[in-house]
Structure 1
Amino acid sequence: MPQQTRSEPELPGAAVDNGPYLSELDFSAFRMQVSTDRYNSTEYLARERELLWMRTWQVAGREDELPDTGDWTVYTLFDQSFVIARGRDGQLRGFVNACRHRGNQLCEGSGHAARFTCPYHRWSFDLDGQLVGVPRPDFDGSLEVFVGEREALGLVRVPVECFAGFMFINPDPQAAPLADYLGEVVDLLAPYRMHEMVPVGINVREALDCNWKVIMDAFQEGYHIQGVHPELIPAMDESRERYRFYGDHSVATAPFGASNLADISPADQVAAIRELPATFPGVAEVLPRFEELLEASRGTDGELVFTEAVNARSLLQQATRDTLTAKGLDVSGLTDTQMSDNHFYLLFPNFFLTIRAGEATFISSVPHPDGDPNRCIWHVTGFMWLPPEERAAARAPLVEVSEPGSFEYFLALQQDYEQMQRQQKGLRNTRLEHMALTRQEVRLAWFHEVLDRWVAQGPA
């Protein structure tokens, strides 16, 4: 029988695994009412635009989308446009997507170029943003400007940094470094090696009829499982969720894989785990090893013999560790609970990540560029760790959904997709001035307190 107990206090994930339960939190620190104007008011959205979105770090794509020198992509936020490019030194840099001459937009979409050339007057800029060419410098005064003020006429820079394989951009040139903004989250996520994961299965961007915060709210609480995802009830025990708060960010974890062992028979524990791939596809590759471990746990009469230390949950953890190690992923920095349990990260303002060893689901949302607070754009990507030689073939291309409702998500996500837009219809009612939160929605309370601080005064 494989050893199932481990002592892991030194591993970063233990901080979350041993975080406080809901009953151990001090709720005097939280406001459990949230004003609803933030979901439907154009005035509130205008404050968000200037005090939040134009000052905060946000995901602009994956670093491996720009692998080569000269690769570039455009990131759009409201009516603001930025270019991210891979320089000759291998570094990524961000620029305002406008020529310094007369402000003409330089790029659309994504592409590859040795330099950026404005299609209006043909001024050209190197990949580091420096002005390198002006047509007809012999015109009166032009040569002097080109030579004497060249440094001042480069593209306007904006900060771009990478973390966990994501490209982050901040429209604020005075922004603190990304590592400072993320704080302890950097060490918590590092052992998953997410920078080596690739999009697999789902990679979709679509406009939704709801405010961007409705999406962030929905994925920060498990209270709605009983109403929206009843099929997950046997596999997740939300009553044992643990919480941590790190600066503007938060993380929670709930036992996964029939954790309420005192109430579930061995056969029911196993059945719940076997059903997980319907909602969590990444579990499928672990099941063969799980079945092998099950056989070793049967008595002479063929019946499963579980103990406090060895049960379906611990076997799922061991099967996951064995399977991923055999694939080549170093999981030595992850705890046993990180083998089985999803950890739910909200990196303020719009980076949501559900992650367990070997796989993750990333969800982001941004305000719709048309300025309607009742609409947004969401991006959903499934990630999986694969050996390097398998990544290119498995990579899921980005799907841009143009016909609302035409793309069918996997079960749990489809349920959320429908529910979130239904919620926004209720939030449009102006006589509903506040939402009342339950204690199980404590992360929403934290998120909205952080939001209130930003919108009131900008970053702390």
Structure 2
Amino acid sequence: MTIEATRPTLPGDWLDDAELGLSGLDCEAGELSWKITTERYTSPQIAARERDLIWMRTWQVVGRVDELAKAGDWKTYQLFDQSFIIVRGRDDVIRGFVNACRHRGNLLCAQRKGNSRQFLCQYHLWSYDLRGDCRGILRESRAGVDRNDVSLLPVPVDTFGGFIFLNPDPDAKPLAEYLGPEVVELLQPYRMEQFVTVMDVEEALECNWKVVMDAFQEGYHLWGVHPQLLNVIYPDPEKGRYWFLGDHGVATTPFDVPRPASGPDGAQGETFGPEEQVAGIRKLPDTFPAVPLMLPRFEELVAEYRGDDGVLVFPDGVTARTLLQRATRDTLTGMGLDVGELTDNQMTDNQGWVLFPNFFMTVRAGECHIVMPTPHSSGDPNKCVWHVASYMYLSDDLAALAKAEPVVVEEPGSYTYFEALQQDYEQMQRQQAGLRNNRLTHETITREEMVVARFHHVLDRYLTGAES
């Protein structure tokens, strides 16, 4: 899926276009959902409406293209009680089907993944090729069935950015139309299809899927949940930029180490000097796994500004941030990744993407991280399953060493995530416990959580049937 650039500048220059990006203070109060009813997170009736009006009608990421590397590679996707097969055909096309034999409805694929030359029903031995066409019926001459009438039921499947998308609705509009041209244009330059999986974990959580989406769409909770990140990221609604793109959107806060030291009340302290800035960069590997690849070049660049007396002095226009940008561009280019269509800011700054309904991604040059919560198969609104994964651009030799296999956590709490993700894991489940209190009727959203308010505004439209 490709699209021609619609503006003469780099796609990432939207941050400097006053007609496109909003600041956190630009949005009128009446445009978004600033009070959110708590029953949205706890009501079985609302969960049932979400199933019918959202989950059965929207495009959802179900895996990575490289999971289906060879002809015959397949995987299954479970959504509530609905089961789907995604398979790479002999013609190299990835297709989707309802996971049920057209004879008596038996599951064709009972495992999570595999490789097959055909799909054979174990009940009465009907068979289907990788295009979904029926190829064999037991004692066909007596069956009285036309093969052409019993092909597998197709499901819309498409790919973008190395991700596989599926829509349960057979009449769904094309993925490119669902995403919209701006989304495609802005994300293509990252070359995510060339990234390799370095973490891939699924686990059931004791919270609603929207609790997960809400948590990852705002930085207002850093002071309470991730204070260690304030050394390198300082969310500021005036500096943050947001662009709403149909049902989707992107937000970013500048990666701004050289900031005044201050607290959440805005009280100003001393400005971070060069040594403090560099120290902040060196702490990044705790949160961003690709940064260690950039540090050798970064240290070379820093050394150019250290005098014979050992004192580090940055001239005007040079900061640790700009040096990391140079180091990132130099390193990735040297490794073979084309970053020519990315801006300097995209070398360092995470842009947070929401693709409705459940895909949240932070992406910067050379790496991206996703969080995808789905409703629990039981339909219990107080539970969900989250899928967290990280992807990086690596040379072939490093990719072979770093590639991670999927992990499905069966025992709650037995898997330890990296620090910030572990903090979110614990906090989200505490929030769900609070949301279940009967006298708490709604949440109150602040301007610093504008993306959360926007997400629920889109959700409202779906739940009223406006998207049907």
Is TM more than 0.5 here? yes
1:112-191 map, 5 Å: 112-139=115-142, 142-143=143-144, 145-146=145-146, 150-183=147-180, 184-191=182-189
Counterpart residue identity of residue 228, structure 1:
V
Distance 2:280 2:100 in 1: 54
2:360 aligned with 1:358, yes or no? no
Retained in 2: the 8 A contact 1:210–1:375?
yes
The Cα offsets for residues 386-443 of structure 1, whole Å up to 9 and x where unpaired, read as 1234423321011111111011100000000000000000011122111000001110
Cα gap change, 1:365 to 1:458, in 2 (>3 Å): farther
Aligned counterpart for 1:419 among listed residues 413, 424, 427:
427
SS in 1 for 2:290: helix
Cα gap change, 1:162 to 1:423, in 2 (>3 Å): same
Retained in 2: the 8 A contact 1:83–1:107?
yes
Counterpart residue identity of residue 198, structure 1:
V
What RMSD in Å do the two structures reach over aligned CA positions? 1.6
Match of 1:5 in 2: none
Match of 1:221 in 2: 218
Distance 1:458 1:376 in 2: 25
Counterpart residue identity of residue 187, structure 1:
E
Counterpart residue identity of residue 332, structure 1:
G
Distance 1:454 1:386 in 2: 39
If the length of structure 2 is used for normalisation, what is the TM-score?
0.92
SS in 2 for 1:138: helix
Distance 1:290 1:9 in 2: 31
Cα gap change, 1:17 to 1:412, in 2 (>3 Å): farther
Retained in 2: the 8 A contact 1:58–1:349?
yes
Match of 1:198 in 2: 196
Aligned counterpart for 2:65 among listed residues 43, 63, 66:
63
- Could you list the structure 1 runs, at least 4 aligned residues long, displaced by more than 6 angstroms after superposition: none
Aligned counterpart for 2:296 among listed residues 284, 288, 294:
288
Counterpart residue identity of residue 209, structure 2:
W
Retained in 2: the 8 A contact 1:365–1:379?
yes
2:213 aligned with 1:210, yes or no? no
Retained in 1: the 8 A contact 2:133–2:148?
yes
Match of 1:15 in 2: 14
Match of 1:346 in 2: 354
Distance 1:16 1:414 in 2: 31
Report the CA distance between 1:32 and its aligned residue. Answer: 0.7
- Structure 1, unaligned runs of 5 or more: 1-7
Match of 1:3 in 2: none
Retained in 1: the 8 A contact 2:258–2:319?
no
Q: Compare 333-342 and 265-274 and name the one that shifted more.
A: 265-274
Match of 2:249 in 1: 250
Distance 2:15 2:104 in 1: 52
SS in 1 for 2:417: coil
Match of 1:76 in 2: 78
Cα gap change, 1:167 to 1:196, in 2 (>3 Å): same
Cα gap change, 1:22 to 1:87, in 2 (>3 Å): same
Counterpart residue identity of residue 195, structure 2:
M
Report the CA distance between 1:114 and its aligned residue. Answer: 1.3
Match of 2:265 in 1: none
Distance 2:368 2:16 in 1: 18
Retained in 2: the 8 A contact 1:55–1:458?
no
Counterpart residue identity of residue 329, structure 1:
L
If the length of structure 1 is used for normalisation, what is the TM-score?
0.94
Aligned counterpart for 1:235 among listed residues 232, 235, 255:
232
Match of 1:40 in 2: 42
How many residues align? The count is 446
